[in-house]
Every structure is written in C-alpha cells, then in structure tokens.
Amino acid sequence: MVVYFDNNATTPLDPAVADKMCGFLKEHYGNPSSIYPLGRAVKEIITSAREAVAGALGAQRGEVFFTGSGTEADNWAIQGVLNTLPEKREIITSAIEHPAILNQAKFLEKKGIQFRYVPVDGSGIIDLDFLRAAVTPQTALISVMHANNEIGTVQPIETVVAIAREHGVLVHCDAVQSFGKLDLDVVKLGVDLLSVSGHKIYGPKGVGALFIRKGVDLCPFIHGGHQERGMRAGTENTVGIVGFGEAARILMERGRKDRDRIGRLTESLKEGIASHIPKVIFNGHPEKRVKNTLNVAFPGLESEAILLALATKGVSVSTGSACSSESEEVSPVLLAIGLRPEIARSCIRISLGRFNTEEDVRVFLRELPEIIVKLRQISAFDPEA
C-alpha cells in the first residue's frame, strides 16, 4: 500500500483534470495567438481557464496572468516592482519565506537591493512591530507568504496590508501553499500581487499565476511576443493552463468539503501520534494554520532516518520543504521559530490532501510508533531525560 502524505510538496493530478488535459491535447494544437478558428478556439479555452483561476481567488479575469510556476510568479512580483520603481531599493519580507523568495533575495542583495527580514515568534507568526518599524521611504514592496509550506502557520496578511497602506507601499503575498487550503479572496486580503501554483491544487506542474490588482503598474517579466497581454511573453503552456483552470474549477466546487475532511483526518493523525509516541513536539501555530499540515519533532532522532524507514513501508513524508530536502542544510524556517539545530534535524512534515483516506491514517499510525521505538533504541534516546 502506498500512503502519500507529502501534499505540500506536490499533489496528485486529479483524474478529472487529467481527462480534461488529455482531451485538450488530442484535439487542440492551435496557437492561441493565431486568428483563424484553430487558434481562436484555444484562446477561448485559455480565457475560461483564466476565469476559473480568477473565480477561485475572488479576482477579476483580467487580473490573472499565467506563469511557468509559483516560483516564477514570486520572481516576477519582486523584480517587476523593482523595475517599475527604480528609485526604491528596499524590500521587506519574512524570515520564513520559501526559497523562491529567500534565494531570490540573496541574488538581488548582490545587485545592491536591501532586504529586511521580519522575524517570527515560536509559532511562526511575523513580528508586526518589527514590520511597522522597518518601512522607510525607500521601501518598494512588502512580500509576506500566506501559509508556510513547512509548518503551516498562516500570517495576518490583512494587517500587513493595513501597515503597508499607511506608507503607500505595495504588498505581495506568496499564496502557493494557502490556495486550496484556505478560502482565498484577494479582495478581502487586500494585497496588490499574489502568487499561486497549479501543482499544489491537484493540477499540473509547470504552471502558476500572478494576480496583479487592477491599476497596479508592474513591469513585464519576460519580454518577447504579446502573450498574456504583453506582460509575460512566450507561447502559452496551453495544456498546463487548461489543467490549472480545471483544478481551480474543481476547487470552487468541492474545496471546502475537502478541507473539512482533510482537517479531521489530520487531527486524528495528530492525536494518534501524540498518544502513541512520547516526547514529540508539534511545530507551528496551534490554530492559525492550514489544516492539512503537521510538522513534528522527534527529539533524539534524525528526520532522514524516520523518512527512509517510513519509505520502506510505502509511506511518503518530507523532512522539510521539497526544495531543501536533498540538502544537508537545517531548515531555516525551523531555526527561525527558535528550534535548536538538533531538534530541527529531527522534524518531519506530514501533509495530507484530497485523496487521503482513514485507512492511510491507520497505516501510518501502525508503522510510525514502531519505527520511532526502534530508532530510539539504536540512538540510545532517554525519554526520561
């Protein structure tokens, strides 16, 4: 049996999305920029996918621009604002952003852009007083993620926007991990720019979108043809966009029901872990969090060993964000919430999704306690210590 508990890394393609994509691939090869019927048909299909993604975000159709990934949307947001406001050279972001923001920041710092990193408390919530004090007339943008990919903590984006508005500063939000896991409404959030990705909502990989609020002036990111209304050149990933649109449509239809069920499964998993395994620590905020994610420390152990032992039983979990799980580096997110490196190295991330069942939870709770007991015996862990 295969138990897939790594839905924050990526989600399985919904079969209905796969059907839609296959049907499209077989029928539609036209270039959406062509003005004859073969091309026009594809353009219309892209328009309805854009409508679906916009609908799921509470945005207008004209505010959604397709990109090649969530990472690209994050890069466009920051570098687009810097190019639009060349006189402003400062960006404020949080200490626990995804590498799509933090590694981009490292790159831009070398080019003279100054980044200020808002610290977080032990549950992963940003320090709003620090944020307030960090804004200067040089600030071009505040970029704060919505839900954290590793610990699931959800940031107070509306308050971030209120602070930014006092200073006339634009706000970008990386919502790649909250899209599908929370009711996203760009109007309620009040942000100017927001990134999402297809493969986190049971859609295909290699397609994302950037919401650009109507009236916000943003430089194009990729220059060339007039695709995406001249904002993101390159012949469209038509099949990816079709899949993303269908995934967004399904989200609007059944997203809330899915979330409640996933939340209950995750809660029973958490209770099972807490009651069967001594001395575990659950990271992240207890309430302000997406309901599918658990990040658990097993003091005395190495997360890699737990992950590999689970893998031999057919269970997939992660040691951190997918992008950093192959590196030796300790998760910066876990360090930022104040964990000691040896505790951070003992954490695994369990993230549930639409296709998980009660049986998955039962299998996991049967395998994990045994694995932990064995590994703790080898590591001479003293639970009384």
Binding site residues, ligand PLP, CB under 6 A: 69-71, 74, 98, 100, 145, 149, 174, 176-177, 197, 208, 321-322
Helix (H) or strand (E) holding 115: strand 114-118
Question: What is the chain's alpha carbon radius of gyration, rounded to the nearest angstrom?
Answer: 21
Residue nearest to ligand PLP (CB): 70
Shortest approach of ligand PLP to residue 102 CB, angstroms?
Answer: 10
Give the separation between CA 293 and CA 8, rounded to whole angstroms: 8
Nearest to ligand PLP of 142, 176 (CB atom): 176
Shortest approach of ligand PLP to residue 259 CB, angstroms?
Answer: 17
CA distances from 213 to 25, 54, 216, 267 (A): 32, 11, 6, 36
For residue 232, what is the DSSP state? B
For residue 184, what is the DSSP state? -
Give the separation between CA 314 and CA 310, rounded to whole angstroms: 7
Nearest to ligand PLP of 17, 176 (CB atom): 176
Nearest to ligand PLP of 99, 299 (CB atom): 99
Shortest approach of ligand PLP to residue 331 CB, angstroms?
Answer: 13
Nearest to ligand PLP of 100, 371 (CB atom): 100
Question: Which of 22, 173, 323, 347 is flagged as catalytic?
Answer: 323
Nearest to ligand PLP of 195, 356 (CB atom): 195
Clarify whether 323 is annotated catalytic: yes
Give the separation between CA 320 and CA 52, rounded to whole angstroms: 31
Nearest to ligand PLP of 85, 143 (CB atom): 143
Shortest approach of ligand PLP to residue 301 CB, angstroms?
Answer: 25
Shortest approach of ligand PLP to residue 206 CB, angstroms?
Answer: 8
Give the separation between CA 72 and CA 221, rounded to whole angstroms: 9
Shortest approach of ligand PLP to residue 363 CB, angstroms?
Answer: 25
CA distances from 261 to 202, 337, 357, 361 (A): 16, 29, 9, 13
Q: What is the DSSP string of 267-323?
A: HHHHHHHHHHSSS-EEES-SSSB-TTEEEEE-TTS-HHHHHHHHHHTTEE-BSS-GG
Give the separation between CA 368 and CA 348, rounded to whole angstroms: 12
Across 190-263, the runs of DSSP E, i.e. the strands, are 193-197, 208-212
Active site residues: 323
